[in-house]
Amino acid sequence: MGDISAHFSRSEFRCHHCGHFKIDPQLLWALEELRNHYGQPVHVLCGYRCVIENQNVGGAPDSLHMGGCAADISVANLSPPEVKRWLESLRPKVGGLGLYPGFVHVDTGPVREW
């Protein structure tokens, strides 16, 4: 059991560089919905990023990761396209969805895809 929701802990969303934590409650809600729908663990590969970490990973200068409004995730036993398709059902609360090899970027910003 997590410490910020039923299935997630602060440590999963902490910045890999500085260790700070921030998460948009709407993003956490969406990830819980995803976890509950499939009954499979949702792995947070990247959550909050400080400015230095964002630069280190080549993130966009205005990345929503820096506001705690984005996460890069994978779901056990599901392909990234399957995860992305299901997350589309949560729009407009989930705005940005990006498909990458091995993971999905999800954020609570404006509706857009890449």
- Beta-carbon contacts of 105 under 8 Å, excluding residues fewer than 6 positions away, are 70, 71, 72, 96, 97, 98, 99
What dotted CATH number matches 10-113? 3.30.1380.10
Structure confidence by residue, pLDDT tens digits, 6-29: 999 999 999 999 999 999 999 999
* Cα 70 off chain centre by: 5
Domain spans of the chain, in order of start: 10-113
Global pTM reads 0.94
Structure confidence by residue, pLDDT tens digits, 25-77: 999 999 999 999 999 999 999 999 999 999 999 999 999 999 999 999 999 99
